[in-house]
């Protein structure tokens, strides 16, 4: 059996390593597919998924092949408050405005009317140069409602029975292996989608996810495990020759793309201090998927310039999980356990998709570390198992009263599932089903105008006449989150699994 499964394991690793992968956001959000881990997988439900949630459990898992199908949906509604004035006037389009000290104002400002209605390309008064400026109504390109399907694969192999085990666990999205969408969390996003996006869902749910783990039982009551999540670091260089900045069809461009493999380790421990009590703990190292892009441009004048961008996707912070499971009742074929776990996540180190820290917007807007809790029970009757967990996952995102618009909510949810072992012919199979549903608790924030970028500063003057710009007094902003916004929603998933002994 070892001869058959080890090459399969390696083949799977090679196959999955051939594209971008980042294990944690998807796996962490979806929870274990297969097994009875539920929301307490750090201590319960040894299975292939334990390679991520606590690799030390692998040594106790059944030696089998797991195939699962999952549907996961995020339904996060973002509600933007109506604007009471604050429009950036059309005069900024003329680029004829200086700040009160004669400094140029930001080129990132466009008239609010352009965002609402667009600007036609043409030669009539008020037209923009062809092809014009496309309308970007507020929140018209929100990304909070998505449903995706996944294939889950897992293998557990006891290389040295009851001593040393290996496991592999993967989730493969059916619709594209990896999506990485960046967006600015402040007024700059008005130039792109002009919308707010849930920060910790969206593209984070569309990543090929792969974890490899090993467990060692060093004492009858103590097991240690190590898991490795694959991460890829990409660097892309684009050397351009700009023949005509108004016609990018004439752009000459050479690419240079490089992808490097990186791994993020997980260390796990399982301890049995008593026959009726099991303790588990893990430490997850941070993970992220990096794209470094260097763009260098050469102009007909011979002027050369370049810039680099450091984008970070799927960031997962240091996490420490701890859980306990206790047998509390047993009668005949029936038994019951109670489970509880906590997860301390150091979200204060979070880096957003543009590699920025939320603390850049102010110390009070820095993300907070969070402590999640889950409690539940497992019921066994013969070869049938059922589990039910309740969980609370606080949001690391403070009230977004300033420039930034990170959208996230506290979650409360329930995880339930069941499986049963049966025999078909000579083969033992364990089909299972599981559901989870989380409520994203409603929240709303009203912006502090004093902390919003005034895109047309008070005292602005026309460069051509040095006259004051009418209407410059007060706040003018295209920050899509101004003057406030709310969010709420649901996050749910359903899985069916089948485990086949090796």
Partner 1 sequence: MPKARPLAALVLAAALAPSACAHDTVGVDTGAEAVCGNGKLEPGEECDVDSPGCVQCAVVPDWTCSTSTCAPICGDGVIASSADCSDAHRDSACDLTGYWAARETDYTRDSILGSIQTSSTWYLYHFVQTGDDFVIDQDIECGVHVTGSAVVDSTPGTLRGLIYQNRMDAQSPHGARHGTSRPASDGCAVRLDRWYRVRGATQAYLPADFTRRPPLTALTPLPSVDNPVTSTDFPAGATDEDGDGIPGVAFAITGFVNGIRNAAQRDWKEFATPAGQSVPAAGLELAIQGAFDLQENVLRVTACGGACALIASPANSASATYPGRLTLAFVGKTLGSDRVSRVVAGKPRDSLDADLTTCANVRLVLPHDGSVPSSPSQ
Interface of this chain with partner 1, residues 448 to 487, rule: CB under 8 A: 461-467, 469-471
Considering Cα of 19, then 24, then 29, then 32, what sign does the dihedral take?
positive
Residue 201: CB minimum distance to partner 1, A: 11
How many other C-beta atoms are found inside a 10 Å radius of the C-beta of residue 307? 9
| 76 in contact with partner 1 (CB under 8 A) | yes
Among 212, 411, 492, 499, binds partner 1 (CB under 8 A): 492
Residue 303 vs 426, nearer CB to partner 1: 303
Q: Given candidates 82, 220, 332, 425, which one binds partner 1 under the rule CB under 8 A? A: 82
Pick the closer one to partner 1 by CB: 35 or 280: 35
The residue count for binding partner 1 (CB under 8 A) is 76
Q: Which is nearer to partner 1, 84 or 249 (CB)?
A: 84
Report 417-436 residues binding partner 1 (CB under 8 A). Answer: 431, 433, 435
Output 265 or 463, the one with its CB closest to partner 1: 463
Q: Does 300 bind partner 1 (CB under 8 A)?
A: yes
266 binds partner 1 per the rule CB under 8 A? no
Q: Which residues contact 214 (CB under 8 A, 6 or more apart)?
A: 55, 58, 164, 165, 166, 167, 225, 226, 227
> Is 87 one of the binding residues for partner 1 (CB under 8 A)?
yes
**CA–CA distance, 411 with 391 (Å, rounded to integer):** 8
How far apart are CB 103 and partner 1 at their closest, in Å?
Answer: 6
Residue 75 binds partner 1 (CB under 8 A)? yes
Q: Does 252 bind partner 1 (CB under 8 A)?
A: no
Only one of the segments 32-40, 52-60, 99-107, 202-210 lies at the binding site for partner 1 (rule: CB under 8 A); that segment is 99-107
- 184-209 residues labelled b (16+ CB within 10 A) or e (exposed): bbbbbbbbebbbbbbbbbbbbbbbbb
In 3D, which of 410, 408, 409, 414 has the Cα closest to residue 391? 414
Residue holding tokens 């869902």? 201
Q: What is the DSSP string of 216-265?
A: EEEETTEEEEEEEEEEEEEEEEEEEE-S-TT-GGG-EEEEEEEEEEEEEE
If binding is defined by CB under 8 A, does position 125 make contact with partner 1?
A: yes
Q: Which of the stretches 209-217, 273-281, 371-379, 489-497 binds partner 1 when contact is defined by CB under 8 A? A: 489-497
What is the smallest separation between the CB atom of 137 and partner 1, expressed in angstroms? 8
What region does 34 belong to: left with phi over 0, alpha with psi -120 to 50, or beta? left
Among 181, 252, 253, 304, binds partner 1 (CB under 8 A): 304
Residue 126 binds partner 1, judged by CB under 8 A: yes
Which residue lies nearer to partner 1 by CB, 42 or 407? 407
Of 5, 47, 50, 146, the one binding partner 1 (CB under 8 A) is 146
In 3-state terms, what secondary structure has residue 6?
helix
Residue 144 touching partner 1 (CB under 8 A): yes
> How do 252-274 and 222-241 pair as beta strands?
antiparallel
Binding segment for partner 1 (CB under 8 A), chosen from 9-17, 32-40, 107-115, 232-240, is: 107-115
Query: 3-state DSSP call for residue 108?
Result: coil
Q: Where are the beta strands (DSSP E) in 404-480?
A: 411-420, 422-424, 427-446, 461-462
Contact between 236 and 291 under an 8 Å Cβ cutoff? The reply is yes
Give the SS3 label for residue 159.
strand
Residues of span 307-366 touching partner 1 by CB under 8 A: 307
């Amino acid at each position: 059996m070892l001869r058959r499964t080890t090459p399969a394991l390696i083949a799977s690793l090679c196959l999955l390593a051939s594209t971008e992968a980042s294990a944690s956001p998807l796996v962490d959000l979806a929870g274990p597919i297969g097994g009875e881990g539920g929301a307490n997988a750090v201590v319960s439900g040894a299975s292939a998924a334990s390679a991520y949630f606590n690799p030390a459990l692998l040594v106790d898992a059944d030696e089998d092949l797991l195939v699962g199908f999952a549907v996961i949906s995020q339904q996060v509604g973002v509600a933007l408050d109506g604007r009471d004035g604050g429009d950036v006037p059309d005069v900024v389009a003329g680029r004829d405005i200086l700040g009160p000290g004669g400094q140029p104002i930001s080129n990132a400002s466009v008239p609010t009317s352009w965002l609402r209605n667009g600007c036609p390309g043409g030669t009539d008064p008020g037209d923009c140069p062809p092809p014009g400026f496309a309308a970007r109504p507020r929140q018209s390109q929100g990304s909070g409602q998505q449903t995706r399907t996944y294939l889950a694969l897992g293998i557990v192999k006891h290389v040295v029975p009851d001593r040393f085990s290996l496991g592999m666990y993967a989730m493969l999205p059916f619709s594209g292996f990896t999506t990485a969408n960046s967006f600015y969390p402040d007024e700059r996003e008005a130039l792109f989608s002009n919308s707010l996006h849930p920060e910790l869902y969206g593209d984070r749910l569309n990543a090929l996810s792969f974890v490899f783990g090993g467990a060692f039982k060093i004492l009858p009551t103590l097991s240690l495990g190590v898991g490795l999540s694959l991460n890829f670091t990409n660097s892309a260089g684009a050397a351009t020759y700009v023949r005509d900045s108004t016609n990018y069809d004439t752009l000459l461009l050479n690419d240079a793309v490089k992808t490097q493999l990186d791994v993020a380790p997980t260390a796990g421990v399982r301890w049995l201090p008593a026959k009726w009590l099991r303790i588990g703990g893990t430490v997850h190292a941070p993970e992220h998927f990096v794209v470094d892009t260097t763009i260098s441009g050469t102009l007909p004048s011979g002027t050369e310039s370049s810039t680099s961008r450091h984008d970070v996707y799927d960031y997962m912070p240091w996490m420490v999980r701890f859980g306990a499971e206790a047998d509390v009742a047993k009668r005949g074929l029936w038994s019951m356990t109670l489970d509880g776990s906590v997860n301390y996540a150091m979200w204060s180190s979070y880096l957003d998709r543009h590699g920025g820290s939320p603390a850049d917007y102010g110390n009070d807007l820095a993300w907070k570390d969070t402590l999640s809790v889950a409690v539940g029970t497992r019921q066994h009757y013969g070869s049938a198992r059922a589990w039910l967990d309740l969980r609370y996952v606080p949001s690391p995102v403070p009230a977004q009263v300033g420039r930034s618009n990170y959208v996230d909510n506290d979650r409360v949810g329930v995880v339930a599932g069941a499986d049963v072992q049966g025999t078909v012919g000579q083969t033992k199979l364990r089909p299972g089903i599981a559901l989870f549903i989380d409520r994203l608790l409603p929240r709303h924030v009203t912006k502090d105008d004093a902390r919003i970028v005034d895109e047309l500063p008070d005292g602005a003057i026309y460069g051509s006449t040095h006259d004051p710009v009418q209407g410059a007094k007060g706040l003018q902003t295209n920050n899509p989150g101004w003057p406030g916004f709310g969010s709420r929603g649901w996050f749910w998933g359903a899985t069916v699994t089948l485990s086949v002994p090796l």
